[in-house]
Structure 1
Amino acid sequence: MSVVQGTAVRNYDAVVIGGGHNGLVCAGYLARAGLKVAVLERRKMVGGAAVTEEIAPGFRASIFSYLMSLLHPRIIRDFELKKHGLEVLPCSDMVSPVDDGDEYITFSDNMAKTQASFGKFSKADAAIYPEFDAYLLEATKIVRQILWETPIDPARRDWKTFKDGAKLLWKYRKVGRKMYRIVDMLTMSAYDFLKEWFEDDRVMAVLAYYASIGTFAGPKTPGSAYVIMHHVMGEHEGAGGWGFIKGGMGSITQALASSVTALGVDIVTEAEVKEIRSSNGKATEVLCADGSVYRAKAIASNASAKHLYLDLVGEANLPAEVVREIKGYRTMGAAFKMNIACERPPQYKILERVRRDGVLGSFSYPTYMHIAPDIDYLERAFDDAKYGWYSKEPFITPVVPTIVDNTLAPPGKHVVNLFGGHAPYTLKGGDWTTEKDNFKKNVLDAVERFAPGFRNDIIEAQLLVAPDIERIVNLPQGHIFHGELSTDQLFFQRPVSGYADYRTPLKSLYICGSSMHPGGGVSGIPGHNAAREILRDLGKTIA
């Protein structure tokens, strides 16, 4: 990687703005097709939200993204990421304390284990779960295929759109009544959807939890059922499970960087893009803060659509309708992340029971947990945010990668990642500069309700809320998905109508990040799909 200074003009076939995982994936596919490609990254390191950094002497953590679940096997295979250092480590089954920590519920890929756990609270829920799982799997299979499609514009009336639409309809002609399942999940709240299947609030909370991850929504928000499906679509190692990455999530982007560099991609760090210049409606070059200029036949932005349109292109260079829509594109971040260096992980009240009951298998400790004992807990957490404040009792995902990865902490010590919500970007009648300590107390109180005394084991704690996430990695308002995953911001309406096909109003300018279909998460699919469309416009095919 290099740093280019001065006012030199560099010529490339393609320039990618932003060295997050989607930017690297896009650059890699373009290079595989024979293009000369440069990636411009504002920070000193590539990775975007998938980075590993030191949080205390000897302690390293996945600062933002914390678990691998969505990175597609095709991406891993095409870029030979395992050859470049990627190593996936196992994660224990999810364990969630309930009833003030005196009882627990588990969620596993093993049907019998999940049924046995659900059966402690409702025999009916245990009995219906296999049918629900099959229902969700059928819906997920359809959506997994749609992830790779370029959204068509239903308002466009030309032969190409008609032909592409006909191909899409023919491809999915056998979906039939299964489409009703997709419509249900796109429109129903997680609560209403799950209530059709289950009776116990603790059982429902296990699944409804996923509807709140990274979104400004609660389980009773219309459309939140879809987010459950979004989070269970992972196919790493051919399955839908979650896992850790040895060395933290930064190892994914370091492996990608190594792979694409071997393909000839130039990665330029400390290259902050200030402006995209255009001529006669066509993007032609990129101006960096240090005065350097990069000219290219194609420019792809991994930055958020809001930042691209409003800051780098500018309102004056865009149609008024696009400006209006992108300003209305909802990006209110409400997720938080606390990275903790500690003497030992939380000592949950249920820990000995969980070990004794044998639900952890070969694990000595539950590496992946949920703190959200029932549906009302999740909804109350959102209620606080809905009215402009942070959650008094936040929902939390505590993960402990150091149980399986000894590269992140000194011997005998641990790293704990706490991810959850809600902590909205803007506080009504307050400011994060004065409220972070109060919110940190709420987070640790929520953990200590189920693991008393955890504070005493903390060496260092880094709390990141939405303004921090925006400042460090430029996610719009700290939204980890670059925008809400709601029906009006999906497929052909993501991020604005008429430009959901990875193209923009400026010719030769594309978007390859999470602002586009299929949305956020460390999947690499937006980067792949954008590269395919760029190559199509250049008369080439993706390989």
Structure 2
Amino acid sequence: GGRAVGVRLRSGEELRARKAVVSNADVWATLSLIPEANRPKSQPRRGGPLNGALPMTPSFMHLHLGIRSEGMEKLPGTEGEDGLGIHYSVLLDSFDDIEAERNMVIISIPTLLDPTLAPPGHHVVHVYYAANEPYETWAGMKRNSEEYRALKAERAEPLWRALEKIIPDVRSRVVTELVASPLTHERFLRRTRGTYGPPLFVGSETIPYAATPLPGLLHCGDSTFPGIGVPSAAASGMNAANTLVSPLQQVSLMNELDRKNQLLP
């Protein structure tokens, strides 16, 4: 009948929606789950396209490390424990094009904020390309092949070089090393082609909002407004919930919270 009324699982079980179906899958995966005959033919009045034409940012390479921290207080430091900063951005090749392939590297050391994330005497380090790793380099590869392992080592090498600018002897400190590719993103995070999400250009509406042209279907997650990142993805869930509630219901709920002194200023 041209309306989203529920979800059919792989097992064949059907879950019926009382009010609406809310998809947290990315836009491209959500479209693939809708029977072709029922896919929206029109586009929303505001926001980006829902017909699969929404552009994707490239993917990631990740380096997750556990390292020994002994002696790191001697490193030339910024503010922070052990002479280290919590976050770094490293440009390897060009200051002019931060979106260039394998150029901008982000480094985070979360144990500087919360030492309990690692055993005493150790740090956790996360190093990654900032959405500049092309999926096409990896498409069709077998994850358990020697070719795949060799490519991961090759493509991760600039991550090591970036980290060595901060911790020169880091390779000798490693006790745990995990390398993730666009295929890792695609498989474990259910990201279409391992994408980071859709680009958001200042001054233009390039990504969709919670409401869709298909009645009964709402969308949230980082491929909807306000976009990429944990805070934005959380806000998109609030947007979807807000869309389901009428203005009168919202006023009623706010009055109830006010009576309970639970309404934030």
Partner of 1:308: 30
Contact 1:331 1:476 in 2 (8 A): no
Partner of 1:446: 162
Aligned pairs (5 A) from 1:212-251: none
Q: Which has the higher helix share?
A: 1
Counterpart CA distance in 2 for 1:294 and 1:370 is: 45
| SS of alignment partner, residue 89 of structure 2 | coil
- AA partner of residue 301 (structure 1): S
| CA deviation after TM superposition for structure 1 residue 449, in Å | 4.1
- AA partner of residue 403 (structure 1): L
| CA deviation after TM superposition for structure 1 residue 366, in Å | 1.6
| CA deviation after TM superposition for structure 1 residue 364, in Å | 4.7
Counterpart CA distance in 1 for 2:218 and 2:153 is: 40
Aligned length: 237
What TM-score, normalized by structure 2, do the two folds share? 0.76
| SS of alignment partner, residue 229 of structure 2 | coil
Aligned pairs (5 A) from 1:348-427: 351-352=75-76, 354=77, 360=79, 364-372=83-91, 376-377=94-95, 379=97, 382-383=99-100, 385=101, 391=102, 394-421=103-130, 422-427=132-137
Contact 1:332 1:478 in 2 (8 A): no
Task: Label 1:439 to 1:470 Cα distance change in 2 as closer, same or farther (>3 A).
Answer: same
Q: In the alignment, does 2:172 pair up with 1:462?
A: no
Task: Label 1:320 to 1:487 Cα distance change in 2 as closer, same or farther (>3 A).
Answer: farther
| CA deviation after TM superposition for structure 1 residue 335, in Å | 2.8
Counterpart CA distance in 2 for 1:341 and 1:487 is: 37
Residue among 3, 12, 21 paired with 1:299: 21
| SS of alignment partner, residue 540 of structure 1 | helix
Task: Label 1:406 to 1:295 Cα distance change in 2 as closer, same or farther (>3 A).
Answer: same
Contact 2:129 2:159 in 1 (8 A): no
- AA partner of residue 360 (structure 1): E
| SS of alignment partner, residue 63 of structure 2 | strand
Contact 1:469 1:478 in 2 (8 A): yes
Contact 1:336 1:419 in 2 (8 A): yes
| CA deviation after TM superposition for structure 1 residue 509, in Å | 1.0
Contact 1:339 1:461 in 2 (8 A): yes
Deviations, residues 296-326 of structure 1 (Å, cap 9, x unaligned) = 12111111111111x211332124455x863
Task: Label 1:303 to 1:345 Cα distance change in 2 as closer, same or farther (>3 A).
Answer: farther
Partner of 1:475: 191
Counterpart CA distance in 2 for 1:408 and 1:281 is: 49
- AA partner of residue 503 (structure 1): A
Counterpart CA distance in 2 for 1:378 and 1:315 is: 43
Counterpart CA distance in 1 for 2:189 and 2:134 is: 17
| SS of alignment partner, residue 411 of structure 1 | coil
| CA deviation after TM superposition for structure 1 residue 507, in Å | 1.1
- AA partner of residue 211 (structure 2): R
Q: In the alignment, does 2:146 pair up with 1:436?
A: no
Partner of 2:223: 515
Counterpart CA distance in 1 for 2:212 and 2:71 is: 48
| CA deviation after TM superposition for structure 1 residue 484, in Å | 1.2
Counterpart CA distance in 1 for 2:198 and 2:70 is: 33
Residue among 241, 246, 264 paired with 1:536: 246
| CA deviation after TM superposition for structure 1 residue 378, in Å | 5.9
Counterpart CA distance in 2 for 1:437 and 1:494 is: 34
What TM-score, normalized by structure 1, do the two folds share? 0.39
Contact 2:70 2:121 in 1 (8 A): no
Task: Label 1:451 to 1:362 Cα distance change in 2 as closer, same or farther (>3 A).
Answer: closer
Contact 1:468 1:478 in 2 (8 A): yes
- Percent identical: 25
